[in-house]
């Protein structure tokens, strides 16, 4: 028997959940197909930052899109609390990006100034000297000479975010199907609209590809292009401790419950999410250099997870021209962009125009060769 809904979302990670949540808020009937626990789940391996600073140097649309999501995040956290009863533990005290030499400090200033100029000034960063950083982070090591600081930066509990979105979605009537890997989408053109049949069982006039690394293969079947590749990050999890750090940083943060999370690496190793001792040692060394109090920290876990990276590191959002109603959404910042996905991107899937910032993120940009820069942090 065929199961019919308004929209099928393929992927039950943070991107799929946030878009499904936004669609459900608009009253759409949504079916979400989730591969299962064997999937490479970026949503269960990430670092939990809501991070703005440094993102979008050389790409003003990405800087704007990221900033808009960070500004919407408090609303997302409140709404999820109300609808799911789950506190996602959002804190946005601003983030610190450390510098270890005068040269590095000046380079960072140039990057931050460049983004501020691109954003007509609405980007209130500060370059802090060592004494100002110490006032915020008393555990700071001697090697750190300063930091860039942006008040919008923050962090949340990414596992609670995933759970909150799933719970809110269920309460809003989203049909969640687990253990349903997808490898076949058959598009049909009927009159003005399209009809998509997924795995011969699920049918809808709209389909959203939010399958992370699986988007590469699925996009081709509906006239889209999403050349995403895996990029491994490894992290260390330390024992719970009393608060020693009140601000999120790019590679050390302390969760609301005291757990110390230490990242990360960027490795091109294909579909391999294992951990390696040499990389973990480098990660630990950098963390201890920045915060010497961590030298006695007990490590309770380590894992590797795969980022979903496009060739230029920016998101991919596009509706198929050949089969309107097929959408692709790929990014490597499912936590940071969750609010923009729920409140802006879902409207686009529901029929509204693509948000201005996102017109630069079509997958077809990779079909015309040009200098490709990676934008990650």
Partner 1 sequence: MSTDPLFVPLARAGASAMPTVAITLNGEALQVPVASSVAAALLATGVRRFRNSPVSGEARAPYCMMGVCFECLLEIDGTPNRQSCLVSLEAGMCIRTQDGLRDLLAEACDPALALARALEASHGL
Residues binding partner 1: number (CB under 8 A): 17
Among positions 4, 139, 186, 376, the unique one binding partner 1 when judged by CB under 8 A: 139
Applying CB under 8 A, which part among 225-233, 295-303, 326-334, 358-366 lies near partner 1? 295-303
Question: Residue 173's CB: how many other CB atoms inside 10 A?
Answer: 11
Helix (H) or strand (E) holding 112: helix 102-118
Which phi and psi (to 5°) does residue 229 adopt?
Answer: -130, 155
Applying CB under 8 A, which part among 53-61, 89-97, 192-200, 291-299 lies near partner 1? 291-299
Cβ closest to partner 1, residue 236 vs residue 308: 236
Cβ closest to partner 1, residue 142 vs residue 370: 142
Residues within window 230-289 making contact with partner 1, judged by CB under 8 A: 239-242, 244, 257-258
Query: Rounded distance, CA 210 to CA 331, Å?
Result: 9
Applying CB under 8 A, which part among 28-36, 154-162, 195-203, 294-302 lies near partner 1? 294-302
Strand positions, DSSP E, 82-209: 95-99, 126-129, 146-150, 154-155, 175-177, 185-190, 193-198, 202-204, 206-209
294 binds partner 1 (CB under 8 A): yes
Cβ closest to partner 1, residue 59 vs residue 255: 255
Using the Cα atoms of residue 259, residue 304, residue 162 and residue 66 in order, give the sign of their dihedral.
positive
Q: For 26, what's the count of Cα atoms within 13 Å in the CB-facing half-sphere?
A: 21
143 binds partner 1 (CB under 8 A): no
Among positions 60, 81, 89, 293, the unique one binding partner 1 when judged by CB under 8 A: 293
303 binds partner 1 (CB under 8 A): no
Query: Rounded distance, CA 99 to CA 286, Å?
Result: 12
Cα distances (Å, whole numbers) of residue 86 to 137, 170, 357: 29, 13, 30
Are 174 and 24 contacting, i.e. CB atoms less than 8 angstroms apart? yes
Cβ closest to partner 1, residue 159 vs residue 269: 159
Query: Rounded distance, CA 318 to CA 221, Å?
Result: 14
Cβ closest to partner 1, residue 14 vs residue 137: 137
Among positions 120, 298, 370, 371, the unique one binding partner 1 when judged by CB under 8 A: 298
171 binds partner 1 (CB under 8 A): no
Residue 349 beta carbon to partner 1: minimum distance, rounded to whole angstroms = 38
Are 12 and 33 contacting, i.e. CB atoms less than 8 angstroms apart? yes
Cβ closest to partner 1, residue 114 vs residue 141: 141
Contact footprint for partner 1 (CB under 8 A): 138-139, 239-242, 244, 257-258, 292-298, 300
């Amino acid at each position: 028997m065929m199961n019919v809904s308004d929209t099928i979302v393929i992927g039950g990670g943070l991107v799929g959940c946030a878009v499904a949540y936004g669609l459900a808020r608009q009253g759409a009937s949504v079916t979400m197909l989730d591969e299962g626990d064997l999937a490479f789940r970026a949503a269960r391996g990430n670092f939990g930052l809501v991070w703005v600073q440094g993102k979008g140097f050389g790409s003003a649309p990405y800087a704007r899109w990221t900033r808009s999501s960070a500004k919407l995040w408090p609303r997302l956290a409140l709404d999820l609390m109300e609808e799911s009863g789950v506190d996602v533990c959002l804190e946005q005290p601003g983030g610190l990006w450390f510098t270890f030499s005068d040269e590095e400090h000046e380079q960072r200033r140039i990057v931050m100034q460049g983004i501020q100029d691109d954003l007509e000034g609405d980007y209130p960063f500060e370059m802090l000297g060592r004494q100002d950083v110490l006032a915020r982070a008393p555990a700071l090591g001697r090697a750190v000479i300063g930091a860039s600081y942006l008040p919008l930066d923050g962090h949340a509990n990414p596992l609670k975010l995933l759970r909150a979105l799933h719970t809110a979605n269920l309460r809003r009537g989203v049909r969640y199907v687990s253990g349903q890997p997808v490898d076949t989408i058959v598009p049909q053109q009927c009159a003005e609209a399209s009809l998509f049949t997924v795995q011969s069982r699920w049918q809808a006039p709209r389909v959203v590809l939010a399958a992370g690394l699986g988007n590469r293969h699925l996009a081709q079947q509906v006239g889209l292009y999403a050349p995403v590749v895996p990029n491994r990050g490894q992290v260390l999890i330390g024992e719970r401790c009393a608060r020693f750090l009140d601000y999120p940083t790019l590679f050390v943060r302390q969760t609301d419950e005291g757990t110390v999370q230490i990242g990360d690496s960027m490795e091109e190793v294909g579909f391999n999410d294992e951990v390696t001792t040499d990389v973990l040692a480098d990660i630990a060394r950098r963390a201890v250099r920045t915060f010497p109090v961590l030298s006695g920290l007990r490590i309770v876990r380590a894992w590797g997870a795969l980022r979903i990276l496009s060739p230029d590191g920016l998101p991919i959002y596009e509706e198929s021209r050949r089969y309107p109603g097929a959408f692709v959404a790929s990014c490597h910042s499912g936590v940071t962009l969750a609010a923009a996905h729920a409140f802006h991107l879902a409207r686009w899937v529901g029929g509204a125009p693509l948000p201005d910032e996102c017109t630069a993120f079509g997958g077809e940009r990779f079909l015309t060769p040009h200098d490709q820069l990676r934008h990650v942090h």
